Chain A
Amino acid sequence: MKISKEKFGQSFDALAAEYKTIAPVSDAAGVVNYEAVESFSEVKQNYLNSKLPPKSFFFPQHEKLLSYVKEGKDVTVKNELKVEKTILFGVRPCDAKAFLLLDTVFKNDMFTDPYYFERRDNTVVIGVACNKIAPTCFCSSMGFSPASSAGADIFLIDLGDSYQVEILTEKGKALAAVFPELVELTVEDQTLVDTIKSAQTTSQVDVSTITSKLEKFFDHSYWDTLQEKCIGCNSCTFSCPTCHCFDISEEVRNNKGSRVRTWDGCMAPLFTLHASGHNPRDKKKSRWRQRMMHKFNYFVHNSGDISCVGCGRCIKSCPVNLDIRQVIDGVNKAELVVN
């Protein structure tokens, strides 16, 4: 079933009056990022993907967890969790899949992170398939494709002047009423849908054995040279849709303060520095190893999946051209030395 973009735009505008509505927007330089919009006319179409992933709408780069006022020896603490009903439109399959991976982090066998899940539960994700594929995209290697709907509540395929619509979840159904005039696909539409659905990324990398290879790879000399040109800037982790590490710190003025959490990353030497001065990951080598081991081995043990969705943002954002595909390939090709 499909809906014309004109009708969809009208529905979108009606929803934007009721929900906080986030969608891809292009700036003057052509850089696309997710921002709050009020009308479908502001929404960028035919974009490859955003520069930064949309994870920030569930896990902001900077957020207040709580605030407090100190009076004498006493203190009053206030929860700062605030949530709005939100629609997140135009999420690419890689980023929608990343939400499913983040879900397994922010809820574990003992704790649920309310800041993440209150937002997650109050947000409808509308995914859009990729009609164009960047040379840095490699989602087809990660077990899905540029037209996978996993992680979306409603999934659209752009057919030019209309969208094919798939309503996938209960949350999606709650919005279904605003798409009243769905019509059947034409034969041409179906051909286009089939083409988009069968598309694969041109760039491919073999991750079929990486998890098991890494089991015995911790002390391998491969890590010694891999990281030499890395400058530890954390661009890879900040632009990664699945990276979730954060810092908690204090912002204080006089007797008032807030506890805030901010994105942090495993490539920063201070990330693991003890107050005593001891640092278990004091070398770039150990930090690079951590990033790769976490994504391709530890995460698989803990959550059952590789924590990389092949979006290619870390490749694009790296100032020294370190390419995660080549690193994976390097691990694949490295010889295991049996002790």
Chain B
Amino acid sequence: MEQNPYLPIKMRLIKNLVETEDRNINTFTLEFLNKQDEENFKYLPGQFAEISAFGHGEAPFGIATSPTEPGILKFSVAKVGCVSNALHLMEEGTMVGVRGPMGNSYPIEDFKGKNVVIIGGGFAFTTLRSLAVYMMDEKHRADYGDITVIYGARNPGLLLYKDELAEWETNPNINLVTTIDKECDGWCQRVGFIPTITEQVAPSSVNSYAVVCGPPVMIKYTLPVLEKLNFPPERIITSLEMRMKCGLGICGRCNIGTEYVCKDGPVFTMAQLKELPSEY
């Protein structure tokens, strides 16, 4: 982080990839312009950054790359607002601004020696990808037990990182379960909503953490399943979204009770969330 936390570093958009069939999510690959910027940007899975589309504004997005992938940052972003629309239309080679890394990370130190079950729905798979890639890295893989990923989308075209998922299918380092909401031609994986599939897969809660990200309704119905599997709230992790501006815990809008999602989050345990007002 630079001394003035409001000043972004410049990064070059080297790839603007349409990620999903509905063309609503693109993955932006940004390249660091120099070693110094990259060294200053030390991040962990779960953190986010504020991206400037100059002329349009700045918005916070979770980092989809893992720190084990040097030289670049990736962000997979849905086209919903002013900044995300500008980014979707941006020509490759354009300079963007990046401030960060911001927020806390997934508790990767606590995960050491434990099994980790990653449960994701829809496009809330970006920082989960970062986490999976980080733990699967050859330098880190021995630190963790079984890694299970349960990932679902409405239909196959809406899954992110399809090439990578295909590779994970046969990768012995990870147990991947993908699902879609409704049966469709050419799909030979599971069919059903995330809570149902989680119940079927029934990952053991013994010596395990669960990390759940997705639409609120998915989280709402997945939590009881995890409780039934005896995951205690302290070992169920999620990441929250909020409208943010400064990303520094100052501008005042992203709080849930005493906690600023930008600075104290975005990663919380269910045990922590139970102590906070239900205002998110």
Residues of chain A touching chain B, judged by Cβ–Cβ distance below 8 Å, are 65-66, 68, 70, 73-75, 77, 79, 81, 105-106, 108, 110-115, 218, 244-250, 252, 255, 257, 259, 261, 264, 266, 271-276, 280-281, 286, 290, 293-294, 297-298, 301-302
Contact = CB atoms under 8 A, between A and B. Distances in A.
Contacts of B71: none
Interface residues of B, number: 44
A110 B103 CA distance: 10
Contacts of B57: 248-250
A98 to B, nearest CB: 15
A109 B163 CA distance: 41
Contact of A257 (B55, B258, B279): B55
A275 B81 CA distance: 5
Nearest to A74: B95
B174 interface: no
Interface of B: 1, 3-8, 10, 52, 54-59, 80-82, 84, 91, 93-95, 97, 241-243, 245-246, 248-258, 263, 277, 279-280
CB-CB nearest 4 A-B residue pairs = A275-B81, A245-B252, A111-B248, A275-B80
A246 B251 contact: yes
A275 B59 CA distance: 10
B58 A245 contact: no
B54 A257 contact: yes
A250 B243 CA distance: 16
A247 B245 contact: yes
Nearest to B97: A77
B251 A245 contact: yes
Contacts of A301: 258
A274 B243 contact: yes
A246 B252 contact: yes
A264 B255 CA distance: 15
A275 B245 CA distance: 12
Q: Which of B7, B54, B94 has the most CB of A within 10 A?
A: B54
Given A68-B54, A275-B59, A293-B277, 7 more contacts: A114-B6, A245-B252, A249-B57, A259-B6, A259-B58, A272-B253, A294-B255
Contacts of B257: 218, 293, 298
A73 to B, nearest CB: 4
A77 to B, nearest CB: 7
A298 B253 contact: no
Q: Per DSSP, are chain A's interface residues mostly helix, strand or loop, or mixed?
A: mixed
A70 B80 contact: no
Contacts of A249: 57
Given A114-B4, A286-B279, A108 B249 contact: yes
Contacts of A66: 6-7
Nearest to A111: B248
A266 B252 CA distance: 8
A65 B245 CA distance: 13
A294 B257 CA distance: 8
A77 B8 contact: yes
Contact of B248 (A108, A245, A252, A294): A108
Q: Which of B59, B80, B94, B245 has the most CB of A within 10 A?
A: B245
Contact of A280 (B7, B81, B93, B279): B279
A43 B169 CA distance: 76
Contacts of B7: 66, 77, 79
Contacts of B94: 73
A276 B251 contact: no
Contacts of B245: 246-248
A304 to B, nearest CB: 12
B253 A271 contact: yes
Contact of A115 (B6, B91, B258): B6
Nearest to A248: B245
A246 B245 CA distance: 8
A112 B5 CA distance: 8
A224 B139 CA distance: 55
A81 B250 contact: no
B95 to A, nearest CB: 5
Contacts of B82: 275
Given A79-B4, A115-B6, A274 B251 contact: no
A75 B250 contact: no
B129 to A, nearest CB: 21
A75 B93 CA distance: 12
12 contacts: A75-B95, A81-B4, A111-B1, A112-B5, A115-B6, A257-B55, A272-B254, A274-B242, A275-B59, A280-B256, A280-B279, A290-B279
B243 A113 contact: no
Contacts of B279: 280-281, 286, 290
Contacts of A266: 252-253
B255 A250 contact: no
Contact of B84 (A246, A275, A294, A298): A275
Contacts of A79: 4, 7
A287 to B, nearest CB: 11
Contact of A250 (B6, B56, B241): B56
Contacts of A257: 54-55
A276 B80 CA distance: 6
A10 B249 CA distance: 44
A271 B254 CA distance: 9
Contact of B253 (A106, A252, A264): A264
A108 B253 contact: no
Contacts of B258: 297-298, 301-302
B22 to A, nearest CB: 15
B261 to A, nearest CB: 10
A272 B260 CA distance: 13
B253 A248 contact: no
